[in-house]
Structure 1
Amino acid sequence: MTSSLTAPVPVDPRFDRSARWRADRFGMFIHWGAYAVPARGEWVRSYERIGLDDYRPAVEAFRPDPDFDAWAATAAAAGMKYAVLTAKHHDGYALFDSELSDYTTAAVLGRDLVSEFLAAFRARGIRLGLYFSLLDWARPDYPHFGDLHHPMRDAEEFRDHAPDLASYREFLHGQVREICSNYGKLDVLWFDFSYPGMGPQEWGAAELMSMVRELQPDAVLDNRLEGSGSDHGSLLTDAPTPWSGDFTSPEQVIPAAPIVDIHGSPVPWESCLTLNNHWGYCRSDTDWKSAPMLIHRLVECVSKGGNLLLNVGPDARGAIPVGSRRILARIGEWMEVNSASIRGCGPAGLGKPDWGWWTAGHQKLYAHVMEPPIGPLLLDGLDRDQVASVHLLADGSELPLVDSWTVVGGRSRAMVSFGPQPEWSYPLPDPIDTVLEVRLR
């Protein structure tokens, strides 16, 4: 019989579409485009008020020759099961072929980089997603002066600019139709993003979502047709809109607690994080997060019922920076022997122990021990008679259940020792995260 502790946490049937995506738990985000040439991040046009003509040299200089198979190999070796590429970011320069625009790599370079990316990642068995910006700073019909984010938002020469939202919606819908029709099955479609003045009405969200569901019925969608990284939209309410998406998308943060609806039921979510402080390539940013930190954050996401989408920003030549690759390789070493505690897992319902985190799945509990104990390790929340066995997940070796005179009520509490004497302190087998596989009776 499956214990309630090791059974999957029930999720509302309206989220069934996301079941496989939720089981994957770990994916690669890839922000890449002409903004890799100035190498100051993907928002460089907005932050520095760069006009379209002044951005043209970056577009013309963006002539990469990426090894997409190497990208896919990096993702696979890190233990990532899905990947999401920026098919088009806010600058409007598309990496795919479009009959609606010549502001694309297909028109400028004669290369459909989205098609090449998808082929390489499919060959590695990695599930596929495309990011598509709802904003487009290259379009003359998109709002300029007074918009919150457009590079020309406070440029006096655009004070009398008149946007044409009907024209822009037609273009937006047309390009989404292209990426949903021309590239085979997509597992994820990641829209970005809504903000005051530009939201569901301006995007024509109802019609857009209807088209996506018709063309890509199994694709998992984020919530940003009506929200953003800090706004869950209507997904947590009793009356979610048809365009509310399949998951919420907290950005550059991990929620303090599992994300639930107004009734306390779990809602799928995915935290997207950068490896340094930028999404797109930034030559001067070498403030890398460490592999141990990111392993801990991945475990935290899973323990709270969420996914982690970890970003890389390839350079203008098309190479993933060495700093990124080194971090991902170290994460991959840990995932190689511990991925069973991540994939297909979720909350254990045991609370947050002092020594790390719990995850649960596959009819087992997984204790992620990140702080070495003094004396025996107390398996918080479990009585000794509940536990059938404890093994190191990495090598399958058994850890004994022990008693200790130093622990009040020790004989009834589940405790294990990493060495021959339960009262003594021993180093953790893996100082980053030693994972214990706990089987219950």
Structure 2
Amino acid sequence: MRQQWFDDARFGLFVHFGIYSVAARHEWVQNYERITDADYRPYFDHFDPDRFDAAQIARTAKEAGMGYVVLTTKHHDGFCLWDSKLTDFTSVDACGRDLVREYVGALRAEGLKVGLYHSLIDWHHPDFTVDWVHPRRDDPNAGELNTGRDMARYRAYLHGQVRELLTEYGQIDYLFFDFTYPEHKDGWAGKGPEDWAASELLAMCRELQPDMLVNDRLGIPADFVTPEQYQPTAPLTVGGVPQVWEACQTLNGSWGYHRDNMDQKSPTLLVQMLADSVSMDGNMLLNIGPDGRGAIAPRDARTLDEIGQWMLLHRDAIVGAGHADFTPPREGVYTRRGDRLYLHLFSWPLGFVHLPDLGDKVSFARLLNDGSWLKTTVSDPEQQASHMTPAGEAAGTLTVHLPVRRPDVLMPVIELTLKGL
């Protein structure tokens, strides 16, 4: 039952924020540009999140129809957004603010579940060994950089920081670790579960926060799996066992603030992706990257506002809904909540939408956005159809009659009440 809230919420907000937001060219900028600690330091020195408003972030998530938020406590560059006693590479040292504490309080005030992201990787820590994702991997003397580095000391640091987060901020509902990469590449080893002492780390999480959900990126099984930047095509299973899962998606391909990236997904595409996830018993975690001053970028705010307007009218088709054991028509996907079946129409057909095998199973149909009744008929192949009525449908097909004009919403949804349930 620990995951019931997660299964019900279906929609969450991811927030990537750190000193890479000042760089404004992707949260992996230190890796991509092979930046040394010294050359990365100006982003720390100029980190001034005067427009970071945790209360506004929480309100924005709630108004978008989201049930939880996940904030990056530390990304791969090692910069921490809380008052860690184990390093001076923190927001408190940079600007005098414990942003995690502000965030946790704001979420609780809005009744949202509290999620934390924590990187297993730390390019800033002197004992974290250089590997194939490290910014220093191409240094002329890269092979010598690991001399004296001790992953045992780093593991103690990693576990110590997780303990801080799980003991100093009250109840935490969700923890997203990131990430394990055991593959060898370009002559470098990666890092596997043993590098994090993953089993011990997960056991500590269970001890300190027994009701908290933990993702799968420690490299060992946990509570849910996290496909990133792609949409599954069916409910996820492993060995025939259904998996709890969450699709992690960006607005423009970058997690951290990327000023010049204009490859923005449309609100229509995003609500289609959300419905697609729920139709396969999954969640969607949609990311924003606040800018260098901590504000939600205007383009992101506009997108979330449009999604929120859609969710205001259609939340019953998402929140508390899940997979339906009916074959949807070519125009969209189904979600289901109790005796209500929801048809999310990715395309708007002319006049009719035909629903196989539902002829005797539906007592009422309506458009969800305005609650307006829709006429339904059931195909009877023994009766000759005229040129002006639906023909060619298999027996038992339910035909829903539609207005020619598409409703003025991002994605129309038809609510079907199922009989006898």
The counterpart of 1:303, out of the listed 279, 285, 297, is 279
Asked if structure 2 preserves the Cα contact closer than 8 Å seen for 1:403 and 1:410, the reply is no
Letter in 1 for 2:54: F
SS of residue matched to 1:245: coil
Q: Aligned ranges for residues 46-65 of structure 1 at < 5 Å?
A: 46-65=31-50
The alpha carbon displacement at 1:435 in A equals: 1.1
Letter in 2 for 1:122: R
SS of residue matched to 1:156: coil
Gaps of 5+ in 2: 183-189, 380-384
CA distance in 1, matches of 2:356, 2:178: 41
CA distance in 2, matches of 1:135, 1:409: 56
CA distance in 2, matches of 1:381, 1:81: 34
CA displacement 1:324-352 (0-9 Å, x = unmatched): 01011101111001000001111111134
CA displacement 1:110-135 (0-9 Å, x = unmatched): 21011011111211111110000000
Question: Structure 1 length normalisation: TM-score?
Answer: 0.88
Asked if structure 2 preserves the Cα contact closer than 8 Å seen for 1:98 and 1:175, the reply is yes
Deviates more, 1:180-189 or 1:406-415: 406-415
Aligned twin of 1:193: 179
Aligned twin of 1:83: 69
Aligned twin of 2:377: 402
Aligned twin of 2:28: 43
CA distance in 1, matches of 2:369, 2:351: 22
Asked if structure 2 preserves the Cα contact closer than 8 Å seen for 1:344 and 1:362, the reply is no
Asked if structure 2 preserves the Cα contact closer than 8 Å seen for 1:248 and 1:270, the reply is yes
Asked if structure 2 preserves the Cα contact closer than 8 Å seen for 1:346 and 1:359, the reply is yes
Asked if structure 2 preserves the Cα contact closer than 8 Å seen for 1:370 and 1:432, the reply is no
Q: Aligned ranges for residues 73-222 of structure 1 at < 5 Å?
A: 73-144=59-130, 147-160=131-144, 161-162=146-147, 163-196=149-182, 197-222=190-215
CA distance in 2, matches of 1:439, 1:210: 45
Aligned twin of 2:218: 225
CA distance in 1, matches of 2:409, 2:289: 29
CA distance in 2, matches of 1:209, 1:440: 43
> Aligned-residue CA RMSD in angstroms?
1.5
Asked if structure 2 preserves the Cα contact closer than 8 Å seen for 1:272 and 1:311, the reply is yes
SS of residue matched to 2:373: coil
Aligned length: 400
SS of residue matched to 1:37: helix
Asked if structure 1 preserves the Cα contact closer than 8 Å seen for 2:16 and 2:289, the reply is yes
CA distance in 2, matches of 1:269, 1:62: 35
The alpha carbon displacement at 1:97 in A equals: 0.8
The alpha carbon displacement at 1:18 in A equals: 1.7
SS of residue matched to 2:357: strand
Asked if structure 1 preserves the Cα contact closer than 8 Å seen for 2:328 and 2:355, the reply is no
Letter in 2 for 1:170: A
Task: Calculate percent identity across the aligned residue pairs.
Answer: 45
Aligned twin of 1:333: 309
Aligned twin of 1:345: 321
Aligned twin of 2:186: none
Letter in 1 for 2:21: A
CA displacement 1:303-325 (0-9 Å, x = unmatched): 01110000000011110100001
Matched, 1:354 2:330: yes
CA displacement 1:185-229 (0-9 Å, x = unmatched): 111100000002311101001111111001111111110000xxx
